[in-house]
Amino acid sequence: MPPPNLRDRRSVSRSRSRSRARARTRTRSRRSGSRSRSRSETSSYRIIGLERLTISGRPKNKTTPQAAVDEFWDKFTSKTPGKATTVIPNSQFVKNLLKNSVTVASASRGSSSAGDKSKPKSPPSAEDLIAYAQPVNASYEAAATLCRAKVEKIIKECRRVNKKYRDAHFDIEADLKHGIRDCLESLPNTKGRGSPPGRSFRPQGVKRATDIFDDPKFYIDGPTANDVRQGNSGDCWLMSALCTLSNKKGIIERLCVAHDQDVGVYGFVFHRDGEWISEIVDDFLYLTKSDYDEAFFDRILFDELERVNGDELYRKVYQSNSGALYFAQCSHQQETWLPLLEKCYAKAHGDFAAIEGGFGGEGIEDMTGGITSEIFTTDILDKELFWKELLSANQQFLFSCGTGVWGSQWGDRGGIIELHSYSVQKAVEVDGKRLVRLKNPWGKGEWKGAWSDGSKEWTPEWLQKIGHRFGDDGDFWIEYKDLLRKYQSFERTRLFEGDWKVAQLWTTLNIPWMVAYHDTYFSFRVATPGRVVIVLTQLDDRYFRGLQGQYIFQLSFRVHRAGQEDYLVRSQLHQRLWRSVSVELELEEGEYEVRVKFDTYRDHDRLPVEDVVRLNAKDNRDKLTSIGLAYDLAHSKGLVVETAEEKAAKEAHVEKLKSKSKQDAKKKLLEDREEEYYMHSKRLQRHKAKELKRRAKRSEKVAAKRAAAKAKKQAKDEAADEKQDDQTKKEEQLPAAAALAERDNAKEDVKDETKDVRDTGDKKVTKDEETALERSSRDTTATVSAGSDGEESGRPTPFCESEEEPDDDDDENLSSIDSMSVYSERELDIRAAAVLSREEEKNGNADKGSESGGEPDEFERDPWNAVAVVGLRVYHQPTDGQETDKNVVTVRVVRPNPYAGDEDAEDAEVQNAETSKTQGLDVDDSAKDATLTGNVADQKKSIVGDKMKSA
């Protein structure tokens, strides 16, 4: 056993250990509690945050989940869908421009005389809004004719005043010198007011082509792919398109239809939104270096190098020939067609920034009027068939290609630049080798693999067979298998030449949030069997960059035989080329329907059109006017014109609604009148019953009082008789004369008293007494009821003064109620009109305020409001080469009838059943099976169609 002091120390030690253990336990408990509270608080905070995020500023309300979802979608979409179709101020001049730009293709168009213009135009019929076919070259010829006329007009004007042409609408010299930069930069439309597109452009000078080039020539040996060199703009897609076009003779030459080098005017034509347009520019071009007098440091340097003529040396080095240009340039130092074409193309789109970024196929479309389709190498089914198509390049089809389409950064794949467009020059098959020649629009940078310049595959024999020369000029060959391996996508453009005809029609559609086939569709008729190309396109917003709005549309469509549920073909969804989609097939004579679908995205980083207008109207008038006019003219294509049939149906529908509303108002007025009369009658009946009950009680009370008065009268009579008997006895004792006198006096008193009693007991009361009785009825009744036990006054109490006998007139008032008055038809119309007017005013005030009654959430403040302007073009080429007229293809827009009433419900249901056959889901949609009806045979028929009929 240890000594006491040791035991004490151990005890103290154990005590301290236990204290420390308890302290550690308390600490862990506090920490655990703290962590628990922290987690609880964090969880609570997150839940609260989630609730706040969910309700988004809306007060909590008790409703079912389904009702909450329905309310959300009801607020999500705008109640007033629409799009601004004109952004510049209203003026008669602009209205005339827009009116003249509306295309209504009809047989009678253009036949009206000038005198007819003053007459009010009646709505067109449905036949007037049918688009008829015309030759594909008709639009080009019209634009080229106008372009030549404008150039000729300018030449005459300039020679008359002895001045070179200066384009006041695209004066790049004044724009650069004054620092305006409208010719370089686009309208800013991003939230936060970031730098506008084109801010990175830094040209230093501007000069005329005749002052830049020593011996300027528009063409030198014609336009070729080797001429093309990209400048400081990101328009490689346009340069690639021009490289591709140079492989087919005559295409580029068709673009510049007229020019005068001495005057400095050039006229070009481009294809825009289904038709050709003309554009005029002067010969001013941007330079990389400023003028000698403006270049401070360079001027000092050149003055030191050349003391005699430093400015001329400066000009020859920095400001002469193609190498001095800031943007695109020809490889030949004296050739000018490329920079002038690029400038004119930029002017057509508003500025140089607008033509940055794009796809080579779209550039080819703008230069040829062709149609481009997108082909991914991973989607090619038959590579042999695709090789045959490449062999026929530069005939019916033109090709361009690119890689890195899914990336966001530039890279290098064996010398091939990602996110860059290359043109396909030609494809050859020699000695079993399949080779494709490509062109880099930069004029440098080539493939470094097999068959590249200097590779081991090139022998003198192969160089001679192919006709190739080495050089870093951006022109190189690649084997077909490497082409499919290194490049991810191809853009194939079909050209329309010869006997092709086209019919097109535009419209404007409100696009719902959900992706589905629209209830408005296109219908076209083919009168002659042949090859048909169907194109669904939207407006090219590159022409009004900055006013695109927030919504981006990805198009697709299906082609059905009219009324057939199964479709013939559907377009392939483009992943990059969203401007248009197309299909090509052989069609027989008949009616066809085109169902369109929109996969819509909203870019919240962009500003709405109205906000862009508001931000630029004050300080950027000229730029907004230029781009705004292009916007207005483009959107006028899709102007929805109400036909005479639709107007008549609308007027009938509105009139029917007004009549129904009026009848409902009249019915409500009559119902309210009857209800009011009923309630009034009930009130009168209750009043009558109450009054009769009161009168019955009063009659009982009067009868009781009369009985009491009668008994009192008898008592008085008996007392009078006793008194008379006593008096008689006294008279016998008095002398006869005195007795006789007293007897006479007694008789007079008795007679007066009898008269008073007889008057008070009468049932008839005079009107004066009745009036006095009515005023003092309560007091008198109370007095009579008390019995008046006091001393008699000598006159009987008027027991009838407090009671009023019911009058016959009062009984008639209680027994009859006036019949309900009837409104006249005129009065009913006036009252109904007043009711409708109040309801309209009330509804108008309700629309102005928040429907929810609380603070609107983010979706109510900015609801879904997507509107697209789309057009359908149908190209047709007869199979037998026979001549066709305008009726070979006709196109029309079929809109649902919003004016079908209840009485037309059966007809509308039948019509909707017919039209909905072509509006079903795609066969590869996951919900397709659930939408099929009928037995298995019917369901299969709805998918594959009637094989016997198709056969």
259, 271, 349, 420: the active-site residue: 420
SS3 726: helix
SS3 858: helix
Pick the closest to residue 893 from 604, 504, 450 (CA basis): 504
- For the chain, helix (H) and strand (E) counts, in that order, are 27, 26
Q: For residue 330, what are its two tokens?
A: 């020809």
Strand partners, 399: 492
Instruction: Give the whole-angstrom CA distance, residue 669 versus residue 121.
Output: 42
CB 424, CB 393: distance < 8 Å: yes
> Torsions phi, psi of 757, nearest 5?
-65, -40
To the nearest 10°, the Cα dihedral for 764, 768, 771, 774? Answer: -50
Instruction: Give the whole-angstrom CA distance, residue 578 versus residue 396.
Output: 23
Question: 3-state SS of 865-903?
Answer: CEEEEEEEEEEEEECCCCCCCHHHEEEEEECCCCCCCHH
440, 616, 620, 865: the active-site residue: 440
Identify whether 236 is a catalytic site residue.
Answer: yes
Q: What do you get for the CA distance between the two ends of the chain, in Å?
A: 114
Question: 3-state SS of 543-558?
Answer: HHCCCCCCEEEEEEEE
In our burial notation (b when 16+ CB lie closer than 10 A, e otherwise), range 152-181 reads eebbeebeeeeebbbbeebbbbebbeeeeb
Question: 3-state SS of 514-532?
Answer: CCCECCCEEEEEECCCEEE
147, 158, 183, 236: the active-site residue: 236
Neighbours of 557 (CB within 10 A): 26
Neighbours of 107 (CB within 10 A): 12
**Placement of tokens 């200097």 in the chain:** 454
Pick the closest to residue 756 from 821, 723, 804, 712 (CA basis): 712
Cβ neighbours of residue 364 closer than 8 Å, sequence gap 6 or more: 241, 244, 245, 370, 372, 398, 400, 491, 493
Pick the closest to residue 102 from 539, 641, 611, 462 (CA basis): 641
Identify whether 226 is a catalytic site residue.
Answer: no
Task: List residues with catalytic annotation.
Answer: 236, 420, 440
